[in-house]
Amino acid sequence: MPNTYFKLHIQLVFAVKYRAGLIHREWKEDLHKYITGIFQQNNHKMLQINSMPDHIHIFIGMRPHQSISALVQNVKTESSKWVKAKNFCKGPFNWQEGYGAFSYSKSHVPDVIRYIQNQEIHHRKETFLDEYRKMLQLFEVDYDEQYLFKELA
């Protein structure tokens, strides 16, 4: 579109269903590459991606032609199918419903990239749920505790 200008930096965070630790070191880099390809096919720019066994952080430069919810649904659906087709898990692999989407200014991009790169170090000190709650509070997102990512009961 002529005369349309934008710069959108979005961090997406979502969990494996029931926060099961199904993302294994042996194939997580392949998962990251596959997910990066989905973003590229949708004309978005991958800035950083990293995952822990039970969740993933994705930081993108997003173009405004697609809604965040449609993009996340596409990524979750296609990556779940891919994990299943590769037989990486003995049981079913699914992403949990819901996600977090947080926007950042250009000046914060290097810090967010570093933060995502250092997830393994960060999670030695803090759980995923504590991290997620802090993000929601930092961004002043109203949330209901009962709807946060749940563990298997």
Per-residue pLDDT reduced to its tens digit, 103-139: 999 999 999 999 999 999 999 999 999 999 999 999 9
Q: State what percent of residues in the chain have pLDDT above 90.
A: 84
Q: What share of the chain is helix, strand, coil (3-state, %, to 5)?
A: 45, 20, 35
User: Which CATH number fits the domain that encloses residue 102?
Assistant: 3.30.70.1290
* Domain membership flag for residue 141: yes
Judge whether residue 80 has pLDDT over 60. Answer: yes
Q: How far apart are CA 148 and CA 124, in angstroms?
A: 21
Residue 93 lies in a domain: yes
Instruction: Please state, in angstroms and as integers, the Cα–Cα distance from residue 34 to each residue in 55, 66, 76, 107, following that order.
Output: 16, 19, 11, 28
Task: Give 150's pLDDT tier (boundaries 50, 70, 90).
Answer: confident
Domain that includes residue 48, residue range: 15-121+130-147
Average pLDDT, the chain: 94
Mean pLDDT for 8-33 is 96
pTM, entire model: 0.93
Classify residue 10: in a domain, yes or no: no
In a domain, 37, yes or no: yes
pLDDT value for 3: 79
CA distance 128 to 132: 6
* pLDDT value for 69: 97
Number of domains in the chain: 1
Q: Which residues pair with 9 in a beta bridge?
A: 61, 104
Q: What is the mean pLDDT of residues 62-71?
A: 96
Whether 153 is covered by a domain: the verdict is no
Residue 148's pLDDT band (boundaries 50, 70, 90)?
confident
Domain presence at residue 2: no
Establish if 5 belongs to a structural domain. no
Q: State residue 38's pLDDT score.
A: 98
Region 2-27: what's the mean pLDDT? Answer: 92
Query: Whole-angstrom Cα distance, residue 115 to residue 53?
Result: 17
Q: How confident is the model at residue 45 (pLDDT cuts 50, 70, 90)?
A: very high
40 located within any domain: yes
